């Protein structure tokens, strides 16, 4: 006899053997015992969660010689025929290959005939969402008012593709993914019956990669047993092409210590071992998700990441996993992600690290009952402002402007660090030249009218103003102008501000000279793109 795969050999043959889906099993059992049989059912859920299995069990309960009953015998001709797939009264149809209107018309003709030996004719249509719109329309009337001896059971992995007219005619049951514990327990039961003693870690790896499907888990076990009689971690990781936990931990430790050479050597070793980089990144993300729930997973391995760092790393690897789908060599995406994550700390991050260290030291001294020395307290006060600069309130506007000009590059860097890339790019072409009350005047060269018009849009200006106010500790608004051609409005370095003052003076004088009124089109073009009017010829 040909070999029968595990998931077929160990398919549940009674409601008592069904793993999980207790809410559905109980409802179907009560329906059979009470005789409240509906004409149409919809089983929806991910692959490998027991939709077809429960459909066959329900058909047994309907056609058993002792039925309708949830405790069918499993030995009568009807039960045996359904188990072996030879029952004439239980018809299984593949919706993917019988999706046209002609197949549905044949089905409508067949449902009129009475069952041959059973009590009901049961039609199990798998992957029903693959039917065409015309086929659904042809099925509507039959599905709503079929003959009394007919029961439809529709199974689908994507119920969103079903028309609402079909959904409203069925009792819907949503199947859930199996938990990792349910999969491990069932695999342990099956392997014990098969005479195989697995390693617990190997079963955990299989359960994690089964994606909540019991059929997938049993298929992986079948494949691993074909590779080796002993179900070990090594055999499972080899068959699946995944890295074991030791490799993942070693990779994260090297990332924590920013060891670029070690990380690249590990990536190269993964390549030589033939492991899938996309799967490796997904395994890292799964490990980090566990670390969020159980932080001790990282600390036990000498990795101390705060929430913001952990979030940064997970976001980087998540983006890396998406990029790998569109590149030929996925190792490049992983290497670039690693390079970004091991870059030296920025100035702001270094200052923040010093602040955290000082705060920790002060807290330790307070807990020990020792009053912090003046030097520690003063250092904390001095270090406290970054990343904000905080303009002193009693300074005049000129001094405030000079403070803003001196820290302008740091402000642009803060915009980029907060992922405000577009406002940062637009403002980099301008120069802060004046401060009037809470309004910061930024001058743009005549050929940068596009940048001026772009930053004036609310979606760019408002977030830039929020970061500006937060950094300098006071409410600041942004107003943009176009400087004259004679003014030197090269973007300002962090240490100079004289060019900016001359730019606003020349800009004000240029404004004073422009009193000529133009038509609306010319005036709008000037405001949007900048520049000046050379000559207008009236027709």
8 A C-beta contact, residue 20 and residue 210: no
Write out the chain's pLDDT in tens, 539 residues. Answer: 578 889 999 999 999 999 989 999 999 999 999 999 999 999 999 999 999 999 999 999 999 999 899 999 989 999 999 999 899 999 999 988 888 889 888 898 888 888 988 899 999 999 999 999 999 998 988 888 888 999 999 999 999 999 999 999 999 999 999 999 999 999 999 999 999 999 989 999 999 889 899 999 999 999 999 998 889 988 898 888 888 888 999 999 999 998 999 999 999 998 888 888 998 999 999 899 988 888 888 888 888 888 888 888 999 999 999 988 888 888 889 999 999 888 875 555 566 667 777 877 777 777 776 555 544 444 444 344 344 555 544 457 788 888 888 889 988 988 888 888 888 888 988 999 988 888 899 999 988 888 888 899 988 899 899 888 888 888 889 999 998 643 443 444 434 444 444 444 444 444 434 444 455 556 656 655 666 666 666 55
Nearest to 169 by CA among 130, 109, 111, 128: 128
| 0.75 surpassed by pTM | no
Residue 309 has which token pair? 């760092």
Q: Are residues 356 and 234 in the same domain?
A: no
Q: State residue 499 phi and psi, 5-degree precision.
A: -60, -35
- Residue 359 within any structural domain of the chain: yes
Q: Are residues 49 and 65 in the same domain?
A: yes
As a whole number of angstroms, the distance between CA 227 and CA 202 comes to 14
Domain around 198: 180-240
Q: Are residues 190 and 78 in the same domain?
A: no
Domain boundary (174, 192, 223) is at 174
Which whole-number Å values give the CA distances from 304 to 28, 42, 245, 261, 360, in the listed order? Answer: 50, 49, 18, 21, 15
Q: Is 176 helix (H, G, I), strand (E, B) or coil?
A: coil
Residues 6+ apart with CB under 8 A from 254: 262, 263, 266
**pLDDT (0 to 100) of residue 470:** 86
8 A C-beta contact, residue 511 and residue 527: no
Q: Are residues 419 and 371 in the same domain?
A: no
**pLDDT (0 to 100) of residue 517:** 46
- Residue 106 within any structural domain of the chain: yes
**pLDDT (0 to 100) of residue 163:** 92
323 by Cβ neighbours in 10 Å (0-12 / 13-18 / 19+) ranks as middle
Total domain count for the chain? 5
Q: Are residues 421 and 515 in the same domain?
A: yes
Q: Are residues 502 and 358 in the same domain?
A: no
Query: b/e for 441-456, b at 16 or more Cβ within 10 A?
Result: bbbbbbebbebbbbbe
Residue 388 has which token pair? 């904000």
Please list the alpha-helical segments (H only) found in 114-179.
133-144, 164-167
Residue with tokens 């000498």: 302
Q: What is the dihedral of CA 5, 220, 92, 58, to 10 degrees?
A: 90
Q: Is the peptide bond before 387 cis (omega within 30 degrees of 0)?
A: yes
> What angle, rounded to 10 degrees, do the helices at 200-209 and 214-227 form?
130
Q: Are residues 17 and 118 in the same domain?
A: yes
- Residue 535 within any structural domain of the chain: no
As a whole number of angstroms, the distance between CA 312 and CA 327 comes to 23
- Residue 38 within any structural domain of the chain: yes
- Domain with 159 in it: what CATH number? 3.40.50.300
**pLDDT (0 to 100) of residue 529:** 62
Residues 6+ apart with CB under 8 A from 510: 483, 484
- Residue 16 within any structural domain of the chain: yes
> What angle, rounded to 10 degrees, do the helices at 214-227 and 233-240 form?
110
């Amino acid at each position: 006899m040909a070999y029968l795969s595990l998931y077929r050999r160990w398919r549940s043959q009674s409601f008592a053997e069904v793993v999980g889906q207790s809410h559905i099993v109980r409802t179907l059992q009560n329906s059979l015992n009470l005789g409240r049989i509906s004409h149409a059912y919809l089983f929806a859920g991910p692959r490998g969660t027991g939709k077809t299995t429960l459909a066959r069990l329900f058909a047994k309960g309907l056609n058993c010689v002792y039925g309708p009953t949830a405790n069918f015998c499993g030995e009568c001709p009807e039960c045996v025929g359904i188990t072996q797939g030879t029952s004439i009264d239980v018809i299984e149809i593949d919706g993917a290959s019988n999706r046209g209107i002609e197949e549905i018309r044949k089905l409508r003709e067949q449902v009129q005939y009475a069952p041959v030996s059973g009590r009901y004719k049961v039609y199990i249509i798998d992957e029903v969402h693959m039917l065409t719109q015309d086929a659904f329309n042809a099925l509507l009337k039959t599905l709503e008012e079929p003959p009394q001896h007919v029961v439809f059971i529709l199974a689908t992995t994507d119920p969103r593709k079903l028309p609402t007219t079909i959904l409203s005619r069925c009792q819907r049951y949503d199947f859930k993914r199996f938990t990792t514990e349910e999969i491990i327990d069932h695999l342990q039961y099956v392997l014990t019956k098969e005479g195989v003693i697995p390693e617990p870690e190997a079963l955990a790896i299989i359960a994690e990669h089964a994606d909540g499907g019991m059929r997938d888990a049993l298929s992986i076990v079948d494949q691993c047993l074909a590779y080796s009689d002993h179900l070990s971690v090594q055999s499972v990781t080899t068959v699946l092409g995944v890295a074991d936990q030791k490799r993942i931990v070693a990779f994260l430790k090297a990332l924590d210590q920013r060891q670029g050479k070690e990380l690249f050597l590990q990536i190269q070793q993964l390549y030589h071992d033939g492991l899938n980089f996309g799967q490796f990144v997904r395994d890292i993300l799964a490990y980090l998700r566990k670390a969020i729930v159980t932080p001790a997973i990282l600390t036990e391995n000498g990795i101390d990441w705060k929430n913001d760092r952990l979030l940064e790393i997970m976001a980087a690897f998540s983006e890396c996993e998406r990029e790998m789908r569109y590149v030929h060599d996925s190792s490049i995406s992983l290497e670039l992600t690693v390079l970004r994550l091991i870059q030296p700390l920025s100035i702001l991050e270094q200052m923040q690290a010093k602040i955290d260290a000082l705060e920790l030291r002060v807290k330790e001294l307070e807990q020990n009952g020792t009053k912090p020395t003046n030097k520690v307290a003063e250092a904390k006060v001095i270090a406290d402002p970054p990343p904000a600069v905080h303009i002193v309130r009693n300074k005049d506007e000129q001094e405030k402007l000079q403070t803003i000009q001196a820290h302008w590059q740091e402000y642009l860097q803060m915009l980029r660090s907060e992922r405000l890339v577009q406002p940062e790019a637009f403002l980099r072409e301008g120069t802060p030249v004046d401060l009037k009350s809470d309004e910061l005047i930024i001058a743009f060269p005549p050929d940068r009218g596009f940048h001026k018009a772009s930053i004036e849009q609310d979606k760019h200006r408002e977030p830039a103003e929020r970061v500006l106010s937060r950094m300098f500790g006071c409410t600041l608004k942004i107003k943009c102008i176009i400087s004259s051609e004679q003014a030197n409005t090269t973007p300002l370095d962090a240490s100079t501000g004289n060019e900016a003052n001359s730019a606003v003076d020349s800009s004000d004088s240029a404004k004073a000279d422009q009193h000529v009124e133009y038509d609306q089109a010319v005036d709008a073009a000037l405001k949007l793109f900048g520049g000046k009017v050379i000559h207008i010829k009236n027709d």
